[in-house]
Amino acid sequence: MRPAERLRAAACGEYPKRRATALTRRRVESVTSGLALWARDTVATDTPAAPPANPVAEAARSMNTRYAGYLTDAADAVPAAKLAYKPTAGQMTFSQIWHHLAQANYGICGAIGGTAGPDLGKYDPKATKDTLVAALKASFAFCDKALAGLADSTLNDQVDMHFMKGTRAVALDIYLMDLADHYSQVANYMRLNRMLPPSAKKKEM
């Protein structure tokens, strides 16, 4: 545009209007571009993760890790002097619970994993704390291995737990229920002896 034309356009109010229109267009383009980038990033970050291939087995492994941790921590915390403790005559002692859990873990997890575990034999009331805790931890390591290869597609298979037969799903349910049941028992025993159960302790930040 020549100088004279620019002066005429300015006098008629056309030049500022054209400049404003161009500025508005650039702003709209900028905003549109920003929204497109935001939408792209939102889709990328808000897209849910793919569901696990074996949700039941994954949940079982998570529960096993939790309760195995609580029970082994409790076994470590209970002093040897308290191994014979039981609230009433008809209940199990700490040492009986540790032995029962180890024996049951080998039997049930052996059925779940398809590999037989060792037979710990009859309960020995003279067993030391070190012996009992080592056996308990070894049984949980055995169960970890059995559950590591567990797939939902095998849960309907028939297995033999020695004390009963059923599906692998039933064996898994019995195993996890046994852990939860005995941890509740152990937690109560500990509180009766002025000890804080592992699950009640505050996690370090």
Residues 34 and 60 in one domain: no
- The one-letter amino acid code at 192 reads L
Is 205 inside a domain boundary?
Answer: no
| pLDDT (0 to 100) of residue 53 | 83
pLDDT digits (tens, 9 = 90+) for 87-120: 999 999 999 999 999 999 999 999 999 999 998 9
Dist. CA 3–CA 10, nearest whole Å: 10
H/E stretch holding 166 reads strand 165-167
Structure letter (DSSP) for residue 194: T
Tokens of 3: 């100088």
Residues 101 and 38 in one domain: no
Domain CATH code at residue 66: 1.20.120.450
Dist. CA 139–CA 121, nearest whole Å: 14
Domain count, the chain: 2
Residues 64 and 87 in one domain: yes
Q: What's the domain range around 31? A: 3-46
Dist. CA 109–CA 197, nearest whole Å: 25
Is 149 inside a domain boundary?
Answer: yes
Residues 40 and 62 in one domain: no
Dist. CA 137–CA 192, nearest whole Å: 24
Is the model's pTM score more than 0.75? no
Residues 128 and 150 in one domain: yes
Dist. CA 128–CA 165, nearest whole Å: 33
Is 85 inside a domain boundary?
Answer: yes
